[in-house]
Amino acid sequence: MNDRPLAVLVLAAGKGTRMRSERPKVLHQVAGRSMLGHAIAAAETLGAERIVVIVAPGMDEVARAAAPHAVAVQERQLGTGDAVQSARGALDGFMGDVLVLYGDCPLIRAETLNAMRAQRRGEAVTVLGIRVPGPSPYGRLVLAGDGTLDRIVEALDATEAERRIDLCNSGVMLIDGTRLFDLLDGIGSANAKGEYYLTDIVAAARRAGLACRVVEAPAEEALGVNSRVELAEAEAVMQARLRRKVMENGATLIDPATVWLCHDTAIGRDVTIEPNVVFGPGVTIGDGVEIRAFCHIERATVADGAIIGPYARLRPGAEIGAKAHIGNFVEIKNARIDAGAKANHLSYIGDADVGAGANIGAGTITCNYDGFAKHRTVIGAGAFIGSDTTLVAPVTVGDGAFTGAGSTITEDVPADALAVARGRQAVKEGWAEAFRARQRAAKGNG
Ligand code: UD1
Ligand code: MG
């Protein structure tokens, strides 16, 4: 293992015009996390001592997303070499290895970067290479006779013979930090784009008598996102990875391609997930849970053995207890549903605590919002809430209490009591027949 100190630079100053977006490119999301967030998470996994994100002037939103890590501003976008130059101040006094990542490459895995570091043998520059046969926009890696890396030639500057090389530059580079800026100072911009290419650091190192090498990685990891179409491609690769991980951990996905996961979705063993389920960020699912078709779940926890759906929605702050049942067209927000409680049909439970074993009848609504503030509803253990009860919060229904179907509950209900709050039924014998007779007579006269 390579235990030299590590600094990671994440290049993110490019404009990203092809996204056609008001939002900076690196803040577009893959699996519920920004592409920049993916790069930073990989850097954090490596135990980097410093992480510096290179931004363009005015990219305040990107700087906020980079926090608590440092940003360095690249005044003008003069190329990847110039981007790294702008981190000179941020790397002042740093003596370890510098890893360069791109903010628009969300699929690069920390394992791959670790393997790259582990294979470093004191070279000045290690480049992560990918095999890409046929025409491509990637820089080509030109090897020396001894198999070390001689130079990188950009596709636009390459000869026809060089363009036939299928070993390409992923963009990821590990550079000896004690040499980095000396080598960069020797790089010019006499090339097809008139830019300072970071890739020219390899030739500069060779001129200084230093060795460079290539470590290969799967091409899929180097997918760079420049457009919405490529964003969708990256999402598809990431989803496939996440689904595989969840299945390897012991969950059954009946139709994996229809289940959408987030980078942080945590799912236990012996969980069954039916088709068409969407997980937003911050979801934890226990063991033995059944998630039926067409559920939408975000920032929620579900304890062991619960049954969710079909067609249930768990919104932020939903905490579903063990063996609880949340059924079709039930929405839960910022509410605790304790063990064994049931809300099986057509309900909204928001800002509430529902005790263990309580039964929430069809059509129950917590009226949690008065137009200004949210209020809490507390339902005790074993309570029975009749169908179509509206609970006007703040209100408490005690343990074991009942509410009559169709009640509008505005006052607290003591434990084990019955509260009925609805108009008393009036029956008028023969009224309907008399009404019809009057109507018929009126029509006949007209
Ligand atoms: C670069 C590599 C190429 C490699 C390819 C992999 C160079 C010269 N070429 O080409 O060999 O095969 O990536 O995808 O490095 N950026 C800045 N400031 C700049 C310019 C770019 O921060 O002035 C950032 C961009 O935001 C992006 C990254 O650097 O995150 C790469 O820039 P890009 O213009 O996409 O480089 P490529 O032409 O794709
Ligand atoms: Mg690119």
285 closest CA partner among 313, 307, 259? 307
- Closest Cα to atom 25 of ligand 1: 14
**The one-letter amino acid at 211:** A
Asked if 15 and 35 count as a contact pair (C-beta separation under 8 A), the reply is: no
Q: For ligand 1, which residues put their CB under 6 angstroms from it?
A: 11-14, 54, 74, 77-80, 82-83, 102-104, 138-139, 152, 154, 168-171, 197-199, 224
pLDDT at 15: 81
User: If you count DSSP H runs as helices and E runs as strands, how many of each does the chain have, helices first?
Assistant: 9, 34
- Ligand 1 centroid to residue 127 C-alpha, Å: 14
The closest-lying atom of ligand 1 relative to the alpha carbon of residue 226 is 35
Q: Are strands 377-379 and 395-397 parallel, antiparallel or unpaired?
A: parallel
363 closest CA partner among 336, 339, 330, 315? 330
275, 277, 279, 280 alpha-carbon torsion, rounded to 10°: 140
Segments of 222-263 assigned E as strands: 251-253, 259-260
Which candidate in 263, 296, 345, 375 is catalytic? 345
Q: List per-residue pLDDT tens for the chain, 446 residues long.
A: 568 999 999 999 988 899 999 999 999 999 999 999 999 999 999 999 999 999 999 999 999 999 999 999 999 999 999 999 999 999 999 999 999 999 999 999 999 999 999 999 899 999 999 999 999 999 999 999 999 999 999 999 999 999 999 999 999 999 999 999 999 999 999 999 999 999 999 999 999 999 999 999 999 999 999 999 999 999 999 999 999 999 999 999 999 999 999 999 999 999 999 999 999 999 999 999 999 999 999 999 999 999 999 999 999 999 999 999 999 999 999 999 999 999 999 999 999 999 999 999 999 999 999 999 999 999 999 999 999 999 999 999 999 999 999 999 999 999 999 999 999 999 999 999 999 999 999 988 65
Q: For residue 119, what are its two tokens?
A: 């294979």
Give, as residue ranges, everything with CB less than 5 Å from ion ligand 2: 224
- Closest Cα to atom 32 of ligand 1: 80
Q: For residue 259, what are its two tokens?
A: 């289940």
pTM of the model: 0.93
Residue with tokens 């996905």: 253
Active-site residue flag, 345? yes
Q: State whether residue 1 is helix, strand or coil.
A: coil
- Closest Cα to atom 16 of ligand 1: 14
- Enumerate the H helices of 301-430 as residue ranges: none
Residue with tokens 């009942």: 402
Of 8, 80, 169, the one to substitute when testing ligand 1's pocket (max ligand atoms within 8 A of C-beta) is 80
56 closest CA partner among 33, 26, 34, 29? 26
